[in-house]
Amino acid sequence: MIVLKLGGSLITLKHKKFSFRRKVMERLAAEIGDYKGKLIIIHGGGSFGHPLAYEYGLNNGYEDERQIDGVVLTRLAMERLNDKVVSALLDSGIKAVSLQTSALAFCRGGEIERLNLEPVKRFLDIGITPVLYGDVVLDSAKGFCILSGDRIAVHLSRTLMADRAIMAIDKDGIFDRDPNITKGTKLLAEVNQHNYQEVLRSLGSVHGDVTGGITGKLRELWLLAEDGIESIIVNGLVPGRLQKALLGQEVKGTRIRVAP
């Protein structure tokens, strides 16, 4: 079984609220359709979830009543993005079904306290691909919090012992320095026990904020690698890469694993 995360920046235009990259998603769905094994898909919030979550300070947890508007609006926006993703998958012949993260996952202080795996496993059992997504979820310490698609993907990979995890993003993978601000950066084909600490340091030293996203992702994926589950980050904007990753073929990207 493969756990596939579709990044929010890949399937939406990050800086344009509620903008869905339909063409990109349709092509990704076609590539996914060529893989015939068991699959769980998780997608990010992109410009459907982030602007609202930010505007209402949802990740701070319950501070005042006004945020409740933010919770219900974020929930609705995420349902709508999810509808678009699931529809594109169905159109490509993938028997996909939405599974609402906020009905399954409960956090405490922003960390997953419990995620009900039963419907995920049982939909898989009858040949259906569950589609989850980053969302606002209930939090027993803070009232609510944002649970990212990355977190869900790593959690499901670990608890369901996925064969592999694939993170499709809008970049080629992890670079030795932040490619947005440093010229001559080099894509890392692999992060393993020999270079992990060094990579972390170099990412962190360049620009804490900008690389926060990728550094966080790397940390999580490294913990997953230590648990024996290999992952690969590929650029979903380049046609064919996701397909190759799914089929286990050689592909440009960054592999995160404990090297033999």
Which of 51-59, 102-110, 186-194, 243-251 is the region at the interface with a second copy (rule: CB under 8 A)? 102-110
**Which one, 159 or 180, has the nearer CB to a second copy?**
159
Quote the radius of gyration of the chain (alpha carbons, Å).
Answer: 17
Site for a second copy in 8-27 (CB under 8 A): none
Cβ of residue 135: shortest distance to a second copy, in angstroms? 11
3-state secondary structure of 116: coil
Cα–Cα distance measured from residue 37 to residue 34, given in angstroms and rounded to the nearest whole number: 9
3-state secondary structure of 24: helix
Cβ proximity to a second copy, 133 vs 222, nearer residue: 133
Q: How far apart are the first and last CA of the chain?
A: 22
- HEC secondary structure over 47-80: HHHHHHHHHCCHHHCCCCCCHHHHHHHHHHHHHH
DSSP string for 220-250: HHHHHHHTT-EEEEEETTSTTHHHHHHHT--
95: left (phi over 0), alpha (psi -120 to 50) or beta: beta
| Smallest distance, a second copy to C-beta of residue 241, A | 27
- The single-letter DSSP state of residue 173 is S
Q: Which is nearer to a second copy, 41 or 99 (CB)?
A: 99
The site string for a second copy over 45-84 (x = CB under 8 A, - otherwise) reads -----------------x--x--xx-xxx-xx--xx--x-
CB-nearer residue toward a second copy: 144 or 175: 144
Residue 97 within binding range of a second copy, rule CB under 8 A: yes
Q: What are residue 139's DSSP bridge partners?
A: 107, 143
Residue 98 is a binding residue for a second copy (CB under 8 A): yes
Which of 104, 156, 165, 168 touches a second copy by CB under 8 A?
A: 104
- Distance of closest approach, residue 134 Cβ to a second copy, in angstroms: 16
CB of 1 to a second copy, least distance (A): 18
C-alpha distances in angstroms, 68 versus 143, 144, 146, 204?
10, 10, 13, 35
C-beta of 149: minimal distance to a second copy in Å? 17
Residue numbers at the binding site for a second copy (CB under 8 A) = 62, 65, 68-69, 71-73, 75-76, 79-80, 83, 86-87, 90, 95-100, 102-104, 106, 116, 118-119, 122-123, 126-128, 138, 143-144
